[in-house]
Every structure is written in C-alpha cells, then in structure tokens.
A and B are shown apart, each in its own frame.
Chain A
Amino acid sequence: MRRLLKELTGARVMSKASAQKMGKVEGVLTDVPPRRVVALQVGRDQLVDWGDVSGVGADTVVVESEDSVRHAADAREERAMAGDFDLRGKRVLSDHGNELGTVTEVELDEVSGAIEAVETTEGRVAADRLRSVGTYCVVVRHDPASALAG
C-alpha cells in the first residue's frame, strides 16, 4: 500500500520479540540510489534497518527485536541522520540543468520501502527518474514525455 513518508514519522516502534515499546520513529532515512527507505531513526541517535521492520500499521511500526537497533555504521549514514539526504525541502534539478521545484512529500510502498514518487511544488515525479541526492539537490532524469520534463 502506498504511504506518505510523513505518516511514518512519529509512529511508535514495537518489538515483535518482546511486545515492548522501543521508542518513536524520529526520522525516515531514504537514499538514491537505491531509491528506497534504508532505515528508520528510532529515538535520538539509533537506527533500525528497513530489513528488520516486520510490519507498518496505521500508527505502529513493528521491528524484529531490541537487537535490531544499532548506531550509524558509516559517514554516509551519519550524514543521512543529520538530514543531508532528506528529500523533503530539497530542490529538484533535471540532468539537463533545469529546476523542477522543491520536494514537498515522498510516496512510499509500505511493504518494500521503495520510493514510488516524489511530489514537488510543480508536480509529481515518478521514482524511476531519480538519479541521485546530495546536500544541494535531487537529480532527476529529463523526460520529454512528462509534464515536468526538466
């Protein structure tokens, strides 16, 4: 089912192994590539890999166990936790060098964690056009068939 990224933020995180509450989703870490959710930020400085998420409900995310929680493993994850690769609020630039507005929301598949599309201030861009994300912008493929060709 399709979900908006903002709907995951604030959800409580429960352990499947212990049925205990582990905290709240403070952030959703996406990256491009691989154009998907890579991890959830739980609490202030901990991560749960998307692969350890067993289910996403209306306001609860269930993860395998307390052992699923870890710290950032490398510099890119640390930057991701600092928000460097957060798509929302970022300018969108086509690979032809033309701007397509600013990302307002991200559509996700709640089962796979795949990004399906980003909504920008100028319209919707399908995820298969996403090429990369950095601190400056999201780079998307020029698409002459799209209303937002870039």
Chain B
Amino acid sequence: MSVHPSLLLRATELIGHPVVTLDGGEAVAEVKDVVYGTTEAALLGFTLRHRGFLGGPMKEVLAWDRVSALGRHAIMIATAGDLGEGDDELVEEVKDSRGRNVLGSEVITDAGQRLGEVTDVVVLVADEPEVVGYEIGGSEVLTPRSGGHVFIPLPDTLAVSGEALMVPAAVQDFVSDDLAGFGASVERFRDHLRTSS
C-alpha cells in the first residue's frame, strides 16, 4: 500500500501553524520551530510563540506525545493544558534539544558514501503521525531531475549523531525527486528491509 502524497509534509512547513485545542476551538500558540531528536530519528516536539504580529516566544513547548493531529492547516491538541513547561521527561528533552538541529547533518551510507545534507524531515500526517524520511540537498551522487533536492525514506532503525546520519546503502534505490513519488518509495523501501533481513 502506498502512502498518499497529500499526507506527507515537510516538518519545516509546520512552522507558523496554529496550535488549536479540540475542546475549545482556540488557537493557543503557533509553532516557532521544530525540535528534532539527536539520538534517534524522530521529532521530539515544537517550540512555540504567541500568535499574531510581534508574537513573542513562549516558555511552554509542545511535546510530540501530546500532539493529537498534524494537519495541513493546524496542529491539534486535546486541551490547552497539553502545552508543557517542564513537568515531564519529554518536555524537558524538547527544551534541552531546542538548540540542536538535524538539519544540516551529513547523510552517509554504511558503504561509506556521502549522499548529501539533511534539508528537511518528511512527516506522515495520519492518525498516528510519524517521521518517514528526509529531504536531502547538496547531493554529490544522487542527481534529482528537478530542483536541487531528493527524498530518502527512513529505515526503522538508523544511527544518528550530532553530525551525521548513517543509512543503509540500499536507500539509494528508493530515492524520489518529489513528495508525490515519495509515498510509494517509503513503502517499497520498508518492504525491502523486511524481506532482506
């Protein structure tokens, strides 16, 4: 089964999205930045700012496990109390990871080939949102037909350090030029990993 392309979006597209409560229909914040994990390939959550012109940063953050839905127009949370200031582990991790960034990390295959640098993270926005791949730019070996970027699917397990992402060499066979073709690549790549392991 292929992932419908309308359900895929770049994490940076979420910047500026309103954070809206399901119980109150209120926009309680807007996304200031996306916070990525440094030890695993995941989104940890979001830093926030007040809505509107001149909206200043908020001390509360939104941890990934409190997100009810990621949509094309808004991030939904159950209630305003889901924004955290540091009352649990993931909220602390989001706050500690604010300064770090997976964007710009080098992507290296286990065969030692440099594929390029991460320019964005691709998120599948379904009932259970998940990170399914990366957008890579500055590629020396992958030559996209259009634009300077390609998409690579994310394996289930992946080594990540502060400077680089280690991916299986086989990922090169599942590269897409655009998000429309990427949905199918994700599924084919995961099938490939399942059958070859």
Chain A interface (Cβ < 8 Å from any Cβ of B)? 93-99, 131-139
Contacts and interface: CB of A to CB of B under 8 A. Distances in A.
B26 A97 contact: no
B107 interface: no
A134 B137 CA distance: 41
Contacts of A98: 71-74
Given A96-B76, A132-B25, A137 B20 contact: yes
A136 B71 contact: no
Question: Would you call the interface of chain A mostly helix, strand, loop, or mixed?
Answer: strand
B69 interface: yes
Contacts, number: 62
B75 A136 contact: no
B76 A134 contact: no
A95 B70 CA distance: 9
Contacts of B25: 93, 131-139
A72 to B, nearest CB: 19
Nearest to A150: B71
B52 to A, nearest CB: 11
8 contacts: A95-B22, A95-B68, A96-B76, A97-B17, A136-B20, A136-B25, A138-B25, A139-B22
Contact of B74 (A97, A134, A135): A97
Contact of B76 (A97, A133, A138): A97
B15 interface: no
Nearest to A131: B22
Contact of B23 (A93, A97, A132, A138): A132
B18 interface: yes
